[in-house]
Structure 1
Amino acid sequence: MICHNRRYLMYISQNYSYAILRPLEKYILSQGGEVMWFLEGDEVNHEYLKPNELKLVNVSDVISWNPDAVFVPGNMVPNFIPGLKVAVFHGFNAGKVNRRGRLDHFEIRGCFDLYCTQGPETTGPFLELAKKYKYFDVAETGWPALDPLFTIDPSNPFNVQNDERPTVLMCSTFSRHLSCAPILFEKIKELSQETKWRWLVQFHPKMPKDIVEKYKSLQNENLTFVETDDVVPLLKAADVMLCDTSSVLLMFLIQRKPVVTFRNRSPSNYLINVDNIDEVEGALEMALLNTESQNKIIGDYANHIHPFNDGQSSARVIHKVNEMLDCGAKRPPKPLNILRQLKLRKKLKYFNW
């Protein structure tokens, strides 16, 4: 696998994308490749870049740098940026339906040359789409964002020494009609005043500020509210998750740990789902029993969505990308998407032709 003298661009538009792409960056650099970042739009914080990470300021700089491959944890990337366009996804398939009535995870927007899927659950549908559209490849690699999930981290700041209480991680999506955070506030306030559990609370970065401030006000010796661009250390530190319909719950399940959901839109046997506020505490207690039957159900599902637990998904992604670059296979052209590309040019203030 040769990365030497090749250039790889990390193209992001959200803060959570840093953690998704950094395992790829680490692997590329270890193999002698070059990495640059391009931060699109106003929703990504440039201060989250590390001192040793380099960015390109505008599209003209990106084009001049001429990357060999572009990694995107979002839905779109401009066609006027050079390089093999690689979709690595911003999360798992959570079953969310877009305004067209289609599963958003499998929406094809004509931007990518390669989709790197996370496991059998998504590989099959993308292979069928590849047969239909013919202009992109599909490789089941696992998700690079999870590589750190399967490595030992003795310095995890959320592991508390000499505190043997079970740790509950509460996560929630920002969508008001899906979010459990506003509804469960009083219950979490009540439970966090007890000492039997340690609570970590982390929300989607788009969560309304008023909800964030309410939960921040609950902080005490039993509950910590965490704002971070990297949820992996929290996932590793917790024993059970309380969530709603956010795809982050799938990341937790992959560790073979139990998840309690509140009014999940797609309740399944690998989740302990409740619809009433008064059922939350009992469901968490049940989850912490870690019964053999429940562990098997969770394990089977984890193998279906992400069978890789070796921490080597980044290596598999780069292997496939370099293989495609080496062979230079010709595929049918991607759709022109003229209107979409014009919108991207306007957004990025790039009008050179």
Structure 2
Amino acid sequence: MMADYLLFATERYALPILQPLALALQAAGHGVHALFVDGAAGAALPAPVRTVALRDAVALKPRAVFSAANWVPPFIAGAKVQLFHGFNVEKRSDERGHFRVRGLFDLYCTQGPATTAPFKALAARQGHFAVVETGWPKLDPLFRGDAGEAAALRAPAAARPVVMFASTFTERLSAAPHLFDAIAAEVARGDRYWLLTLHPKCPPELFARYRALAGPNASFVETEQLVAAQRAADVLVADTTSVVSEFVVQRKPVVTFRNRAPKPHMLDFTEAERLPAMLERAFAPDAELQAALAAYADLIHPWRDGHSSERVLAATEALLRGELGTLSRKPLSSIWRGLQIRRELGYWGR
């Protein structure tokens, strides 16, 4: 049965999460619409995804709304499905961070055991949402489909190894200001090729500095190319960004600068001048590091078939058919949050 579905985002970095899901919906013959607000306003996904205004989204009465944000407008019809905008990288406490429940979603599609177990415990206590481990749609392109975009990003490297740099926007955690000179020196040396990217919320002056490094030994990668860049690179240099976990899912080495919660699968360091030595270790990983990478990858995202989007759709249909149990009513706090969202979006219609 053909139905209409809505994709929801508040930041541009959500687009690579929603795009594989849009393709799965299209392949199943459904109508796919998108509502992008705040930092994602003005963005678009390739046709036939149709970007709509808020009033049109309400009138659409979609069968389900898939959100790659922390929230979703509760006054839009349909099941509200949380896809997450990143992995849990422990930037904040559980109560304020990844495991915060706002009373807006009916279904949480979790990425792997590390996320599934805590959310199932929360669902058992609160009762107003269901949890299904599906894997993360954003990572589908890592394990299936055309590798052409990744190959194109890697092509200028020729026979050289490829390093990717990514950084969070959180000022106290960002490596970008601290590692610029060290990375610039590595780029100038030219024995490795660099793919450089920054979180969209990083300061414009940082973007200007890193973009200026582009040339025969480096290129700057836009947010929409992030997954292709991860597929293209051999090693990642980063900080406490969730890109670290995305990259590790491939079982590739990561070098982290002052990570907030360093773990055995990371090569963490605190002084910028140690970057060359850390890269040498990353490009020659020992057995212990390789085992740690594999164990963590299986913990956060064991799905390697590239079909997480299809599992999200199957879980949503199971929810709508009542196969995931009867949900209790949303908490009263969700009513207040719904009013806040109406105010923020300037929408007071029915």
Indicate the TM-score class for this superposition, using the shorter chain for normalisation: over 0.9
Q: Name the structure with the higher helix share.
A: 2
Deviations 1:234-280 (A, max 9, x none): 00110000000001110000001000001111011100000111211
Matches within 5 A, 1:67-86: 67-86=62-81
Aligned pair partner of 2:163 in 156, 161, 168: 168
Once the two structures are overlaid, the 10-residue window that deviates more, 45-54 or 214-223, is 45-54
Aligned pair partner of 1:14 in 5, 11, 14 = 11
Matched-pair contact (CA < 8 Å) for 1:96–1:103: no
- The 2-side partners of 1:51 and 1:21 are apart by 13
Task: Give how far 1:51 is off.
Answer: 3.8
Deviation track 1:270-310 (CA, whole Å, cap 9, x = no partner) reads 00000111211111111101323311110011000000000
Task: Measure the CA separation in 2 of the matches of 1:226 and 1:45.
Answer: 21
1:352 Cα deviation (Å)? 2.3
3-state SS, counterpart of residue 36 of structure 1:
strand
Change beyond 3 A, Cα 1:162–1:344: closer
Identity of aligned residues (%): 38
CA distance in 1, matches of 2:141, 2:311: 15
Structure-2-length-normalised TM-score = 0.95
Match of 2:44 in 1: 48
Instruction: State the distance in 2 between where 1:26 and 1:162 align.
Output: 30
Q: Which amino acid aligns with 2:261?
A: S
Equivalent residue for 1:107, pick from 97, 100, 108: 100
Residue 338 of structure 2 is aligned to residue 341 of structure 1? yes
- 8 Å CA contact 2:22–2:49 kept in 1: the answer is no
> Which of 331, 339, 345 is matched with 2:327 structurally?
331
Does structure 2 conserve the Cα–Cα contact (< 8 Å) formed by 1:184 and 1:277? yes
Which residue pairs with 1:272 in the alignment?
267
In the alignment, the residues of structure 1 paired with residue 208 and residue 41 of structure 2 have an alpha-carbon distance, to the nearest angstrom, of 20
Range with greater deviation from structure 2 (182-191 or 81-90): 182-191
Segments of structure 1 that go 5 or more residues without pairing to the other structure are none
Q: Kindly provide the amino acid, as one letter, of the partner of residue 8 in structure 1.
A: Y
The CA distance in 2 between the partners of 1:330 and 1:16, in whole Å, is 33
Does the aligned pair in 1 maintain the 2:36–2:43 contact within 8 Å?
Answer: no
Moved more, 45-54 or 163-172: 45-54
The match for 2:120 among 116, 127, 130 is: 127
- Among 241, 255, 262, the alignment partner of 1:260 is 255
- 1:150 equivalent to 2:150? Answer no
After TM superposition, the runs of 4+ consecutive aligned structure 1 residues lying more than 4 A away are none
The number of residues matched between the two structures is: 346
CA offset digits 1:82-116 (Å, max 9, x no partner): 11000000000001216xx7350000000000000
Structure 1 counterpart of 2:133: 140
Gapped runs of 5+ residues in structure 2? none
**Alignment deviations for residues 56-88 of structure 1 (CA, whole Å, 9 cap, x no partner):** 212x32222111111001111122111100000
Three-state SS of the structure 2 residue aligned to 1:321 is helix
- Paired with 2:210 and 2:15, the residues of 1 have a C-alpha distance of 25
Is the 1:12–1:40 contact (alpha carbons within 8 Å) kept by the matching residues of 2? yes
CA contact (8 A) 2:157 2:217 kept: no
CA distance 1:291–1:152, shift in 2 (3 Å): farther
Is contact 1:8-1:34 (8 Å) kept?
yes
The secondary structure found in structure 2 opposite 1:343 is helix
User: How far has the Cα of 1:162 moved from its partner?
Assistant: 7.1
The secondary structure found in structure 2 opposite 1:331 is: coil
Superposition deviation, residue 330 in structure 1: 3.7
Pairs within 5 Å for 1:83-94 = 83-94=78-89
